[in-house]
């Protein structure tokens, strides 16, 4: 457990140093990276536990230790002993308040792994920070104060850990010293937690009794709890299997971040492989267009690669001159869905509430599109019944349906965390207002609440006929024609620019339908543009049917 | 599967490259702040990798104080040339006119040359995004710094108004006049940096390696007499000591450590058994734990 640093320093001189460092780095090369999250309520001992891990991993340097001793004496809240929690406090303003109010990242390494800790606050209103820390974590440590047992907040933390797709859960029952290291207390808490885990969907967890302050079962097994047969916390963190190998099973997917064109002869697509593996010669699809081509080269500064796997940042060249730009996805056949609408879970992160008919920017992978959100339900994470929308407030979690202004390549969050997650951005303030996890893809026609008020009709004659039919039912309808749009709103567009015309028509229809008006859009539907509502007089491929009088 | 899993260093490299590509795709006029230190050297190396075979599509900016070590100026030109990038050097004309220096002006030196100089340069060229080499492990208040850090039109950093960063999705949208500081090395530690420099054979300023150099000791800090602008106190005589630097800034503000480590492996070996943390060498940090944060709010990088 001790840092390999301690085994160094025997040799002297350049050659000895080189040999030692080479050996040390060879060992380091085998090291993997584990990102984990700590969550608990205020005063459960998170800061103490993290400080203790840093201390026990010999990460603290002499001057940090002496500063810590001084600060401990000054703060005076650990009775003359070292207060490890002081190690992990940060911003001055927060320190004055005495609580941690954001995500802080800490680093330490042992002989087996490098660790990045996302330290997030326990206060109930800070769901947003926990979701942030959890989004990149492989493992979560959920702290429970042995004297208090499972609390409503424990459920909240566990729910979020599950929602954000963290597969490894550790339940650290802390302050065992204050319950006389009593096995019965621990067993009761574990049983309570199992009930909770079942309810929120966590299938597996590892429970460890600890006393962060004294270091019991933190870096080494505690003599005070001989009844506990499992590993110490650090041991578990060092050995829990990581699923980097998952790269072997998942299909290849990569979002194109940047098109690299230094000159006429080179055109490369730069991105990070999100899943699977890719080899030169592989047949791939460019999404959303669906064109297929072959991988020609995998270019890196260190030379071409024969193969790249999930996590690697690469530049791909393609065998054919296909259209491919930032935001597109290069993927194995069938590896992603092309959709104009999404079903998702949303964590609302802004003070300002979600406005159902307002459009937000949605960023997923390397693409940013305009999105409108319909809240199906607000989830009660304490296990009560879901509430109805239509709004989401700060720290609410909603089940939502999202209509996009165009079709994009996307993946479910359960399939891939890197591509299945998205953020929503306020178009006016540019703030990141929500984080979402794609759950599924609603079929066209079930798009959103406006469907039954928007009709895309092929040809103005059909439009008139439909309006007459609605009038007979006593329902007023408005016909949106291409000519009317071209006169005003779209006067800046050329005749070839039907994609933009369709997009604007769709936005106008959406806005008007939100006020309760029925819209009959007699506007051409450009390929690839997602439109709300239902089609009249078109075939399944969106081509106008020959017979004008099908209605 | 046959391919081995990525090592932690490969993961850090990929993450930094991903960040740089996002910035280039989503901002109008990015620039890389280049301070000539080891972190800058790694950041520049990563930029070359991120955009290969193209040169990094942004210039390097050195906010100069005129008080850097001479060896740093030497490497600066060479590094830019080899990367095929334009090198912009900005010196605050007001500081130059007033002859602001670290000996006579204390904190004002950092404030005018660096803080003000950086703001001036960004405004002058209209850069809306600036890469910086800061790491979260350097100092406590940095642990909570985002990778994308937003600054108002007056370059102020508002700790309450930063954006949550989820997955690897960065929101680079901003209002006109606002700018972003981006820290692609956020998740690297000092050891990661050294290990990477060693593995990738990245050129660094020779001052990181021990050699006999003229020094004086003041308030327990070893300072190098790098040129004849160094005002010696009565009775003070420079002494040759074998020293090296763990961090490089303005020479009168940067403390050296006595060391015999003249090669990279020896440095790393010393570092692994080190008992003092990196920033102790910077005289600037000695004024209180919360000072870095205050500087950040004022716009110091
Ligand atoms: N007796 C005892 N006290 C602890 C233990 N862990 C933490 N504490 C104390 O609990 C209080 C809150 O700890 P802290 O780490 O600041 O909690 P946080 O708010 O979750 O970060 C402090 O006074 C700690 O000293 C433990 O294992 N045993």
Here the ipTM equals 0.88
Chain A residues with beta carbon closer than 8 angstroms to that of B292:
none
Residue B228, classed as helix, strand or coil, is: coil
The 10s digit of each residue's pLDDT in B185-207 is 999 998 899 989 998 999 999 99
- How far does the centroid of ligand 1 lie from the alpha carbon of residue A45, in Å? 4
Task: Kindly report the nearest CA distance between residue B271 and chain A, in angstroms.
Answer: 9
Q: Are A362 and A369 in contact (CB under 8 A)?
A: yes
Q: Report the pLDDT value the prediction gives residue B167, as an integer from 0 to 100.
A: 95
Which residue in B143, B209, B244 has the most chain A C-beta atoms within 10 A of its own C-beta, making it the best mutation to test that interface?
A: B143
Q: Do residue B262 and residue A14 have CB atoms under 8 angstroms apart?
A: yes
CA of A44 to the centre of ligand 1 (A): 6
pLDDT band at B292; cut points 50, 70, 90: very low
Residue whose CA is at the smallest distance from ligand 1 atom 14: A45
With a 6 Å cutoff on the Cβ, whether A510 touches ligand 1 is: no
In angstroms, the separation between the Cα of residue A106 and the nearest Cα of chain B is 7
pLDDT at A249 over 80: no
Over the stretch B217-265, which tens digit does the pLDDT of each residue have?
A: 988 889 999 888 888 888 889 999 999 998 898 888 889 999 999 988 8
Query: Closest Cα of chain A to B242: distance in Å?
Result: 15
Euclidean distance between CA atoms B285 and B229, whole angstroms: 23
Going through A147-262 in order, the beta strands assigned E by DSSP cover 168-174, 206-209, 253-255, 258-260
Distances (CA, A) of B117 to B93, B155, B165, B261: 9, 12, 29, 35
Does B55 sit within 8 Å of A262, measured CB to CB? yes
Q: Within 13 Å and on the Cβ side, how many CA atoms surround A383?
A: 14
> Measured between alpha carbons, how far is residue A530 from residues A346, A356, A497, A526, A538 in Å?
22, 19, 16, 9, 15
Report d(CA A396, CA A127) in Å as an integer: 8
Rounded to a whole number, what is the distance in angstroms from the first to the last CA of chain B?
44
| CA trace torsion B4, B9, B15, B16 (10° rounding) | -140
Strands A534-536 and A454-457: parallel
How much is the average pLDDT of A462-489?
A: 81
Check if the beta carbon of residue A222 is closer than 8 Å to that of residue A216.
Answer: yes
Q: What's residue B104's pLDDT?
A: 85
Sheet containing strand A518-522, edge to edge, reads A477-481, A518-522, A454-457, A534-536
pLDDT at A26: 72
Helices A13-29 and B8-26, interaxial angle, to 10°?
80
Instruction: Answer yes or no: is the C-beta of A209 below 6 A from any ligand 1 atom.
Output: no
| Percentages (nearest 5) of helix, strand, coil residues in chain B | 45, 20, 40
Digit-coded pLDDT (tens) for A1-18: 333 333 444 445 667 777
Does any ligand 1 atom lie closer than 6 A to the CB of residue A42?
Answer: yes
Helix (H/G/I), strand (E/B), else coil: A341: strand
Residue A45 Cβ < 6 Å to ligand 1: yes
Which of A314 and A57 is assigned the larger pLDDT? Answer: A314
Whether B298 shows a pLDDT value over 80: the answer reads: no
Of the candidates A9, A62, A432, the beta carbon closest to that of B163 is on A432
pLDDT value, residue A111: 80
Q: How far is B50 from chain A (nearest CA, A)?
A: 8
Residue A468 pLDDT grade (very low, low, confident, very high; cuts 50, 70, 90): confident
What is the radius of gyration, based on Cα positions, of chain B? 19
Give the Cα separation of B297 and B301 in Å (integer).
9
Question: Distance, CA A85 to ligand 1 centroid (Å)?
Answer: 8
Task: Determine the average pLDDT of the residues in A473-491.
Answer: 84
Suggest the residue from A10, A258, A309 to mutate for an interface test with chain B (most B CBs closer than 10 A).
Answer: A258
Contact A21 B159 (CB under 8 A): no
Average pLDDT value for chain A: 84
Q: What is the mean pLDDT of residues A70-76?
A: 65
**DSSP code at position A167:** -
User: Rounded to whole angstroms, how far apart are CA atoms B277 and A28?
Assistant: 21
Q: What is the pLDDT of residue B112?
A: 87
Identify the three-state secondary structure at position B34: coil
Q: What local confidence, expressed as pLDDT, does residue A75 receive? A: 61
Nearest residue in chain B measured CA to CA from A88? B140
Probe residue for ligand 1, chosen from A176, A212, A225, A233 as the CB with the greatest number of ligand atoms within 8 Å? A212
pLDDT of residue A382: 82
DSSP code of residue B252: G
Lowest mean pLDDT among A355-364, A401-410, A505-514, B195-204: A505-514
A101 φ/ψ angles, rounded to the nearest 5 degrees:
-120, 20
The band of B266, judged by pLDDT with boundaries at 50, 70 and 90, is confident
Q: Dihedral of CA A312/B272/B145/A129: which sign?
A: positive
Query: Are B21 and A271 a contacting pair at CB < 8 A?
Result: yes
CA of B219 vs chain A CAs: smallest distance (Å): 17
Q: What is the rounded distance in angstroms from the CA atom of residue A189 to the CA atom of residue A145?
A: 10
Separation of CA A115 and ligand 1 centre (Å) = 22
What is residue A293's predicted lDDT score, i.e. its pLDDT?
A: 95
CB B181 within 8 A of CB B132: yes
Residue A308 pLDDT > 50, yes or no?
Answer: yes
The whole-angstrom separation of Cα A333 and Cα A285 is: 6
Q: How far apart are CA B83 and CA A35, in angstroms?
A: 33
Beta bridge partners of A536: A457
A44 lines ligand 1 (CB under 6 A): yes
| Residue nearest ligand 1's atom 26 by CA | A175
Does pLDDT of A330 surpass 70? yes
Chain B residue with CA closest to A272: the answer is B18
Kindly report which listed range (A258-262, A491-495, B270-274) carries the lowest average pLDDT score.
B270-274
User: Could you give the CA distance from residue B276 to residue A60 in angstroms, rounded to a whole number?
Assistant: 9
Helix axes B38-51, B70-83, angle to 10 degrees: 0
From A40, A48, A52, give the residue whose CB has the most ligand 1 atoms within 8 Å, as the site to mutate: A48
What residues in B contact A17, CB-CB < 8 Å?
261, 263, 265-266, 268-269
CB-closest option in B7, B49, B261 to A29: B7
Confidence of residue B153 (pLDDT cuts 50, 70, 90): confident
Which residues, 6 or more positions from A423, have their beta carbon under 8 angstroms from its beta carbon? A362, A363, A364, A432, A434, A435, A436, B166, B169, B171
| Residue B78, both tokens | 């060479």
pLDDT at A472 over 80: no
Beta strands in A349-396 (DSSP E): 359-364, 367-378
The ligand 1 atom at the shortest distance from the C-alpha of residue A51 is: 15
Residue owning the nearest CA to atom 12 of ligand 1: A43
**pLDDT > 70: percent of chain A:** 81
For residue A514 and ligand 1, the question of a CB distance below 6 A is answered with no
CA A397 to ligand 1 center in whole angstroms: 30
pLDDT in tens, A411-448: 999 999 999 999 999 999 999 999 999 999 987 544 44
SS3 state at B188: coil
CB–CB contact B53 A417 (8 Å): no
Nearest chain A residue to B2 by CA distance is A248
Across residues A392-404, what is the average pLDDT? 92
Q: Is A177 in the pocket of ligand 1 (CB under 6 A)?
A: yes
Is residue A240 helix, strand or coil? coil
Mean pLDDT of A368-381: 92
Mutation site for B-interface testing, chosen from A4, A17, A75, A360 by largest number of B Cβ within 10 Å: A17
Number of H helices and E strands in chain A, helices first, is: 12, 25
H or E element in which residue A405 lies: strand A397-410
Most ligand 1 atoms within 8 A of CB, residue of A71, A179, A213, A222 to mutate: A213
Q: Sign of the CA dihedral A96, A100, A103, A105?
A: positive
- pLDDT reported for residue A94: 52
pLDDT value for A18? 73
pLDDT tens-place string over residues B85-119: 999 999 999 999 998 888 888 888 888 898 899 99
pLDDT score for A77: 54
How close is the Cα of A395 to the center of ligand 1, in Å? 26
Strand A268-275 with A258-260, pairing: antiparallel
pLDDT value at position B42? 98
Grouping H, G, I as helix, E, B as strand and the rest as coil, residue A205 is coil
The Cα A107–Cα B187 span in angstroms is 8
């Amino acid at each position: 457990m001790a840092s390999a640093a301690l085994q160094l320093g025997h040799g002297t001189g350049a050659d000895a140093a080189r040999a030692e460092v080479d050996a040390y780095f060879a060992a380091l090369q085998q090291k993997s990276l584990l990102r984990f999250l700590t969550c608990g309520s205020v005063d459960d001992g998170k800061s103490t536990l993290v400080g203790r891990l840093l201390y026990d991993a010999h990460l603290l340097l002499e001057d940090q230790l002496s500063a810590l001793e001084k600060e401990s004496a000054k703060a005076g809240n650990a009775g003359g002993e070292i207060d490890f929690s002081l190690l992990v406090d940060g911003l001055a303003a927060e320190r004055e308040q005495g609580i941690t109010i954001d995500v802080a990242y800490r680093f330490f390494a042992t002989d087996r792994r490098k660790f990045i800790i996302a330290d997030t606050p326990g206060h109930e209103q800070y769901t947003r920070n926990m979701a942030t820390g959890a989004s990149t974590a492989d493992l979560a440590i959920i702290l429970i104060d042995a004297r208090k047992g499972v609390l409503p907040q424990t459920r909240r933390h566990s729910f979020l850990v599950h929602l954000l797709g963290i597969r490894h859960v550790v339940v650290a029952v802390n302050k065992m010293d204050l319950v006389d290291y009593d096995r019965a207390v621990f067993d009761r808490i574990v049983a309570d937690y199992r009930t909770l885990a079942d309810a929120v969907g966590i299938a597996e967890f590892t429970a460890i009794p600890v006393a962060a302050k004294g270091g019991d079962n933190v870096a080494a097994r505690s003599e005070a709890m001989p009844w506990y047969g499992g590993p110490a916390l650090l041991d578990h963190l060092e050995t829990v299997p990581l699923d980097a190998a998952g790269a072997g099973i998942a299909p290849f997917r990569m979002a194109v971040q940047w098109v690299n064109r230094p000159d006429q002869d080179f055109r490369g697509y730069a991105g990070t492989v999100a899943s699977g593996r890719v080899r030169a010669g592989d047949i791939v699809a460019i999404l959303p267009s669906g064109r297929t081509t072959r991988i020609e080269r995998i270019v890196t500064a260190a030379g071409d690669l024969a193969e790249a796997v999930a996590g690697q940042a690469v530049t791909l060249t393609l065998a054919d001159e296909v259209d491919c730009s930032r935001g597109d996805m290069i993927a194995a056949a069938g590896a992603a869905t092309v959709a104009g609408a999404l079903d998702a879970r949303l964590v609302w992160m802004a003070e300002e509430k979600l406005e159902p008919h307002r459009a937000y920017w949605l960023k997923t992978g390397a693409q940013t599109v305009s999105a409108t959100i319909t809240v199906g339900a607000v989830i009660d994470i304490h296990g009560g019944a879901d509430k109805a929308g239509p709004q989401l407030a700060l720290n609410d979690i909603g089940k939502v349906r999202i209509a996009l202004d165009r079709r994009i390549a996307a993946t479910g969050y359960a399939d891939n965390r890197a591509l299945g997650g998205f953020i929503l951005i306020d178009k006016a303030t540019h703030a990141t207002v929500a984080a979402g996890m794609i759950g599924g893809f609603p079929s066209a026609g079930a798009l959103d609440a406006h469907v039954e008020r928007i009709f895309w009709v092929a040809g103005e004659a059909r439009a008139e006929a439909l309006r007459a039919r609605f009038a007979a039912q006593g329902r007023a309808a408005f016909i949106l024609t291409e000519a009317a749009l071209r006169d005003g709103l779209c006067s800046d567009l050329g005749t070839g620019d039907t994609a933009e015309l369709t997009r604007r028509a769709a936005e106008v229809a959406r806005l008007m339908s939100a006020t309760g008006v029925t819209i009959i859009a007699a506007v051409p539907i450009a390929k690839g543009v997602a439109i709300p509502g239902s089609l009249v007089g078109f075939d399944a491929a969106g081509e106008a049917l020959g017979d004008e009088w099908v209605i | 599967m046959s391919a081995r899993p990525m090592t932690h260093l490969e993961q850090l490299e990929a993450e930094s490259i991903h960040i740089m590509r996002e910035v280039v795709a989503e901002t109008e006029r990015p620039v890389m702040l280049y301070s000539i230190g080891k972190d800058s050297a790694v950041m520049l190396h990563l930029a070359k990798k991120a955009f290969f075979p193209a040169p990094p599509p942004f210039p390097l900016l050195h906010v100069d104080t005129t008080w850097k070590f001479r060896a740093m100026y030497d490497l600066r030109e060479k590094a830019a040339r080899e990367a095929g990038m334009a090198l912009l050097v900005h010196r605050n004309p007001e500081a130059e006119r007033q002859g602001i220096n670290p000996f006579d002006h204390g904190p004002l030196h950092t404030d005018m040359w660096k803080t003000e100089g950086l703001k001036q340069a960004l405004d002058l060229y209209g850069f809306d995004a600036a890469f910086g080499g800061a790491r979260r492990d350097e100092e406590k208040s940095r642990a909570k710094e985002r990778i994308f850090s937003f600054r108002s039109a007056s370059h102020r950093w508002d700790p309450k108004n930063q954006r949550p960063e989820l997955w690897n999705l960065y929101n680079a949208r901003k209002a006109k006049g606002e700018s972003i500081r981006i820290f692609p090395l956020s998740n690297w530690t000092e050891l990661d940096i050294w290990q990477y420099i060693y593995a990738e054979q990245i050129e660094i300023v020779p001052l990181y390696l021990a050699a006999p150099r003229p020094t004086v000791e003041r308030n327990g800090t070893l300072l190098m007499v790098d040129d004849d602008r160094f005002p010696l106190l009565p009775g003070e005589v420079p002494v040759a000591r074998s020293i090296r630097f763990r961090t490089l800034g303005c020479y009168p503000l940067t403390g050296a450590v006595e060391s015999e480590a003249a090669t990279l492996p020896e440095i790393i070996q010393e570092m692994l058994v080190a008992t003092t943390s990196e920033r102790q060498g910077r005289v600037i940090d000695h004024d209180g734990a919360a000072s870095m944060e205050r500087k950040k709010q004022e716009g110091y990088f």
